[in-house]
Structures are given as structure tokens and as C-alpha cells.
Amino acid sequence: MKGTEPAERPERPTLVILAAGRSTRFGRAKQLEPVGPGGASLLEYAIHDALRAGFGRFVLVVRESRRHEFDARLAPLRRAGVALSFACQRLAHADLVPLPPPGRVRPWGTGFAVLAAAAALPRRGPFAVCNADDFYGRAAYESLARSLAAPPPGVRAFTVSYPLAGTLSAFGGVSRGLCEMKPDGTLLRMTEGLDLRLEREATRTGSGAEATAAVGRSAVTGTTTAGTSIRVDADSQACMGLWGFFPEILPLLAERFRAFLAACPGADDEFYLSEAVSHLAAAGRARCGLLPSGKGWMGLTFPGDRAGAAASLRQLTTAGAYPADLRTSPVHPEPAPRAQAPPVHPLQAPRRGVAIAPGRINLIGEHLDYNGLSVLPMALERNIRLEFEVLRQPAVELTGDADHGPFAFRLDRPIEPAPQGHWSNYVRAAAKGLLDHDVELKRGIGGKVAGTVPVAEGLSSSSALVVASALALLHANGKHVEVLELAALLARAERFVGLQGGGMDQAASLCGAKGHALRIDFGPLRVTPVPVPEGWRWVVASSLARAKKAGSAREPYNERRAQCAEALERLGRASWLEVVQADEVEFASIVAGGRRSLPPTLWRRFRHVATEGRRVIEAEAALRREDMAAFGSLMNASHASLRDDFGVSTAALDEIVEVARDAGAAGARLTGAGFGGCAIALCRESRAEGVMGALREHFYAPRGGVGEAALFVAAASGGATVTC
Ligand code: NG1
């Protein structure tokens, strides 16, 4: 007999309180500063409000040196049965920064503080994050708790937002997360604004909400973390550091932190939670709901802020909102938030959207990805754009341009390929890849595809289409797949078109980083952004011959892949990595062995992969030390190897490379698989026009001239996004 089991109780959320800040502007440790009428700190108000809103446990992120102080102060709460634990924020972290860079003293920032709390969080169940020195009010915690109990489809993060003007201080500039919202109420982007002040400073008298009343509508000025001046509407929404999350955010944050570290941050650069969530939201990897707060906010940035906060708390206490001595008054937690409660800010399932996925150039490391070796591409500003409407039925109905006619297929029947070379195969590949990965696609998409990446030019228009299609389908169905997992599954999926490709293009399109090249490693897939030095440009030049990877280039490409595998096997080597990472002596002996034992063609294929693998390592080092002359020489060697050993260049590509070098490029090479497509030339910014002029004159004019699609300067762009 089935017993009467109690209905499953929803998980009470945990509140992570960030209390490790250095209080530099406040002048003394402010997290335990007595502010309430009975001497309670804002941190104690946060715990009080959160308990009443149904939060079940608390994790305080503190500096090790102050842990005892917090412990002693909060002991009465523990004795009253409040589940409270500590996480110490250090500069080192076993997995993320085993050894902090020399000279780093400043904490890593709010995003890192959350990662420091991860080990103290329950494995399941949502959590919220707040700052110890901010007062958000009970309604904010209630709104967050309700939304975490019943998140709208696909939303995996929340932030409570406040009108910007009401969050400023009369005593100096403050930092705030400036929110831009999509029409469905989710976050489009958040920019960390620094030194924010009301423009009409002279008329101000108080701080917080009082100040807003004093000046009415106005603008707020400040700078971004990159130092650019900004001016925003005083009514815009600001994030004050009160967030709600599900545990899936933690690996995504860790990944963003690794990318932050890889970009060699300066001693004062911080990994802001706001910027990390903004990046994940823009990339379509963590939809973040905005919960606009009806009530005011107050906090302590400068010593002068204290008086205003104390006065407000006195008023609230007199009005009966809080007990006079909050520190000794028992708290009566509310029941856990009910899962069926509607979210405060109802979000609709998306009805339409736009998925945009960039193409890429590969700076160096050709025909290496399918051999498991690292490559160094960069995402382009040119992209594939899929504007879609969400369909109720599981079908895909898309149209393209004049060369790419309409097609349709169902998602609830086996997905069969269209005839070889048909563009729908890339969309089919994306859908099949997701379905094979057990992603349920109940809703379809209808819409149109347009693009600025030239097709079949080795700039990865095909993978950009695969990525855009996958993001649109995921978005339409409120599903999420972690980005590297998505890149890997789409690389496998794209083989549906018959090309046994590697995984470079899908990863580059998904993980592009503005101003950065990407080192992509395989097995397991990892992406590390590498900054591109200022003052250098890559000119992209089409050979005017299409390299159709779903057509004529397919067999020679697959043949190369098979030859590489055979060469490795004949040499009795387990992996190419082992060859490429050998020391000088060992490498020379492997190469000598290859020359002796392999038939001529396999020997040449072998030599290309082995030397190109080592060139990528050297090229990344050259890029990091901004030695672009060395980078250019490596590009030249790469081209020679692709031409002479790998046999994938063409006379036109060789000619472009030569003209560009003669015109002053530091290096030039074919990019992508070859067999036609494009070449790239590295040149100083001041030489780019000269190099393009020489190409126009010597290569394109005799062939009847070219348009802007065939000859342009590449700019390293961010990765694929999907927005409503
Ligand atoms: P292009 O040329 O962009 O189609 C192809 C492969 C890459 C890589 C390069 C050669 C696909 C989708 N693309 O790129 O994986 O192997 O050739 O380095 O398979």
C-alpha cells in the first residue's frame, strides 16, 4: 500500500552575504557598523528580512582575519537556530587560482566572492546573493524568493533593480550595475558604471531617495570599467548586488573567471558579478529576470551615508516594520515560498527572437582541430542572423536570400538530410544535434536567415548558421546547454553534412571575445581568450574561388583527415599532442623517424601537422608579448606548410599572400580549410590601407574588381547571442 507521503517541500533558498569588502571609501570596516536604533547592522537587517521572506540558510563570505569578529557578533542568531556558516574569501582558490599573480593584493571582486561561497552552498536549491552593507528591504527578498520558487521558463538568474537616482550618494561617486532590459523583462545587458553622480550635483541635499526628490528627473554621469565616460538617464534601473541564482550558474561563473584571468588582469581589475552575468545573458547562456523593486534602497559607501540610513531605519521602526532591538528579537520565519506562486514580474515565454552567430578567421593552426591540437582563431564582426518567431508546432520553416530558398522540416520526425549542398542541412544538423543530445524541442521556429559572412570562403559561415539555429531552437524551447558542451555537440552535429570537421568553428562562434583571439584546446574542449595587441590589423582577402565544404572540397578535406590518422598510427604514436609537446631532441627524433618510414604523401601531411602544432604554441606566446613580427613569420611558415606539405592552397591564395607581403604585411597565410576561400594578412594599422590597395591593384583589378565582402579588415568580436 502506498503510504501518505508528505507533499515534497520546496527548497528554501540560501542567502550568500558578501562581507569581505575592504570598505576603503567608508574608512573603517562597515559591515558590522551599527545603524539601526538598537545598534543592529545592515547585515542583521538583511538576515531578518530574508528569514521572514522564507530563506532557510545563510553563508557569509568574509575575510579570514575578520571571521571571529563576525562569528562572535552573530552568535545570538545561531543560538536562535539560524543556519549560518562562513566562507573565507582568499586570493588563492584550489581550482581557479592555485597561485595568485605576484603583486595581487586587491580581492578578485564580487563574482569571485560568489565562487568562494560555492563549497558552503547546498548542492541543490536556489540561492541569493547580497552585499552586507546594503539595505534592500523585506519586499525585495520576498520578490526574489517567489521568483526563485517559480522561475519563468528558461530564466536561471534574477536581480532586483532600483531606479538609479535613488541609489546615489550625496557624498561621492558610487559604482552600480546599469541595467538594460529586453521587452520580456529579462536583462539585455548590464554595464558596471563607476564614479556615478547626478549631473545636477549642485542642487542635491541628501542621499538615496531623498536626493531624487530634490532634483527630479536628471542624468547620471560616470565611467565604465574601461574608463569611457557615460551619461545615463537617472530613471534607468540599477542593480544593487541583490541576485537570485540556481546552482547551474556556478560552473558558468567559474568559466568566466578563467576567461578573466586569461586576459591577464591588472592588479586593480576586478571580476564583477554584474559583468559576468551580463556576458552570460548576452550570450544567451543564462537568462536573467529583472525584478524592479517598488521600494527604495539604502547603503553605506561613504561615512556621510550613515546618518541618512539611520534616520530611515528609525522611521521604519517607529512605523512598526522592525522591532526596536532587532538583534535580540526573535525572528519568525515565514513558510517556504510556494512553488506555484506567480513571479512578481511575470515573464512571458519568448514569442520571437534574433540569434546572431559570428563567422571567424583562423589566425594560425590549420587542419589541427580534428587532430586534437590547439588552434588560434578569432570571431568576426560579420555574422549570420536568424530572426525567428516561436512556432507552437515542432517544425522549422525558414527562408534565406535569393540563393537560399525556403525550406521546412519537422522536429518530431526523424531528421533526414536534404540533397548534398542544400543550406537547410546546417539547420537540420543543429536540430538533430540537440535532439540527439536529449534536448526536448516541442516548439519550432519560423523566420528568415540573412548574413554578412561570405558563404564558402573559409570564414565559417556554415558553423555560424549551425550555431544560430541551435541558439534559436534552445531559446524557443526555454532550454539551456552549457556553452562548451553546446560547441562540442554542434561540432559533431555538423558532420551531418558529410565533412568530418573538427570543432574550431563552432567553439569560435559561440565563445568569441571582443578584442581577443581564442586559443581553443580539444579533448576536453577549452577556450582561452588571448588579447590582440593594439595597432595591428588582419586584412581578409577572398581568392574569389569558393571552397564548398559540402561539395567539391569535401572529399579532399576528409582525405587529409584520414591521412593524418594513418601517419600517426604508422608511427605508433597515441596522439598528436604527444608529438607536438615533445622536447626538442625527442621532436627531432620523431620527425626523423617519420621521414624514414612514411610514404612521401603521408610524410608531408605528418610534417605539416607536427610543425603547425608547434607554431600555434609559439604564436600564442608571440601574441601575448606583442611580438607581431614573430607572429607574422609564423603565419608565413604556416602558409608554406599548407601549400607544400598539406596541399590545400591554390595559385590564387598564393598570389594574395605574396602581394600582401610585398606591400608590407608582417605575414600572410590562407585561413580555413583552403581549396579556395580566403587569405589573411597581418599588418600594422597604418599599413592596412596600403596592403588592401596593393591587393585591389594587383590581384582584384585584373579579375574585374571586388566589393567590400571580398576584401575587409577583421575586428575580433564577441560570441553568438540570442535576444528577444
Ligand atoms: P572552414 O574552412 O571554415 O570550413 C574547416 C573545418 C574546421 C577546420 C578547418 C581547417 C568545419 C565546419 N570546419 O573550416 O573544423 O578543420 O577547416 O583548419 O568542419
Q: How confident is the model at residue 184 (pLDDT cuts 50, 70, 90)?
A: confident
Which grid cell is 157? 538568474
Which residue would you say has higher pLDDT here, 316 or 520?
520
DSSP states of 610-647:
HHHHHHHHHHHHHHHTT-HHHHHHHHHHHHHHHHHTS-
Which atom number of ligand 1 is nearest to the Cα of residue 499? 19
Question: Is the alpha carbon torsion for 443, 446, 447, 453 positive or negative?
Answer: positive
Q: How confident is the model at residue 144 (pLDDT cuts 50, 70, 90)?
A: very high
pLDDT at 333: 53
Which residue would you say has higher pLDDT here, 417 or 152?
417
pLDDT at 494: 96
pLDDT digits (tens, 9 = 90+) for 407-452: 999 999 999 999 988 999 999 999 999 999 999 999 999 999 999 9
458's torsion region: left (phi>0), alpha (psi -120 to 50) or beta?
Answer: left
pLDDT over 80 (residue 23) = no
pLDDT over 80 (residue 637) = yes
Ligand 1 center to residue 506 CA distance, Å? 10
pLDDT digits (tens, 9 = 90+) for 4-21: 333 334 578 999 999 998
Ligand 1 center to residue 503 CA distance, Å? 8
Contacts of 165 (CB under 8 A, 6+ apart): 198, 211, 212, 215, 218, 220, 234, 235
Ligand 1 center to residue 595 CA distance, Å? 27
Three-state secondary structure call for residue 236: coil
Cα 580 to its chain centre, rounded Å, is 30
Do 389 and 444 form a contact (C-beta atoms < 8 A)?
no
pLDDT at 677: 94
Q: What is the mean pLDDT of residues 330-353?
A: 50
For atom 15 of ligand 1, the residue with the nearest CA is: 502
Q: Is the beta carbon of 463 within 6 A of some atom in ligand 1?
A: yes
Which residue would you say has higher pLDDT here, 359 or 174?
359
420: β partners:
none
**Catalytic residue numbers, as ranges:** 505
Mean pLDDT of the chain: 88
pLDDT over 90 (residue 626) = yes
For atom 11 of ligand 1, the residue with the nearest CA is: 501
pLDDT at 338: 43
Contacts of 574 (CB under 8 A, 6+ apart): none
Which atom number of ligand 1 is nearest to the Cα of residue 368? 18
pLDDT at 571: 96
CB neighbourhood size of 596 (10 A):
8
Q: Is the beta carbon of 522 within 6 A of some atom in ligand 1?
A: no
User: What are the phi and psi torsion angles at 396 (to 5°)?
Assistant: -120, 125
Query: What CA–CA distances, in Å, run from 398 to 262, 389, 408, 410?
Result: 39, 10, 6, 12
Q: Is the beta carbon of 638 within 6 A of some atom in ligand 1?
A: no
Q: Is the beta carbon of 674 within 6 A of some atom in ligand 1?
A: no
3-state secondary structure 92-106: CECCCECCCCCCCCC
Distance, CA of 222 to CA of 585 (rounded, Å): 57
Pocket probe for ligand 1: among 366, 460, 650, the residue whose CB has the most ligand atoms within 8 Å is 460
Do 709 and 454 form a contact (C-beta atoms < 8 A)?
yes
Pocket probe for ligand 1: among 380, 549, 653, the residue whose CB has the most ligand atoms within 8 Å is 549
pLDDT at 212: 35
Q: How confident is the model at residue 214 (pLDDT cuts 50, 70, 90)?
A: very low
For atom 5 of ligand 1, the residue with the nearest CA is: 673
For atom 4 of ligand 1, the residue with the nearest CA is: 458
pLDDT at 350: 62
Q: Is the beta carbon of 366 within 6 A of some atom in ligand 1?
A: yes
Which atom number of ligand 1 is nearest to the Cα of residue 677? 2
Distance, CA of 387 to CA of 367 (rounded, Å): 33
Contacts of 150 (CB under 8 A, 6+ apart): 339, 340, 341, 342, 343
Q: How confident is the model at residue 330 (pLDDT cuts 50, 70, 90)?
A: low
User: What are the phi and psi torsion angles at 604 (to 5°)?
Assistant: -65, -40
pLDDT at 205: 39
Please choose, from the candidates 345, 550, 397, the residue with its C-alpha nearest in 3D space to the C-alpha of residue 461. Answer: 550
- Cα-atom radius of gyration of the chain, to the nearest Å? 29
Q: How confident is the model at residue 154 (pLDDT cuts 50, 70, 90)?
A: confident
Domains of the chain plus CATH, in order, are 14-318 (3.90.550.10), 346-529 (3.30.230.10), 536-716 (3.30.70.890)
CB neighbourhood size of 358 (10 A):
29
Which atom number of ligand 1 is nearest to the Cα of residue 506? 12
Q: What is the mean pLDDT of residues 579-598?
A: 96
Ligand 1 center to residue 639 CA distance, Å? 16
Side-chain half-sphere CA neighbours of 674 within 13 A? 27
Cis? peptide before 524, omega within 30° of 0: yes
Which atom number of ligand 1 is nearest to the Cα of residue 369? 16
Q: Is the beta carbon of 502 within 6 A of some atom in ligand 1?
A: yes
pLDDT over 60 (residue 667) = yes
pLDDT over 50 (residue 337) = no
In this predicted structure, which of 180-194, 273-287, 416-430 has the lowest mean pLDDT?
180-194
Q: Is the beta carbon of 256 within 6 A of some atom in ligand 1?
A: no
Cα 56 to its chain centre, rounded Å, is 31
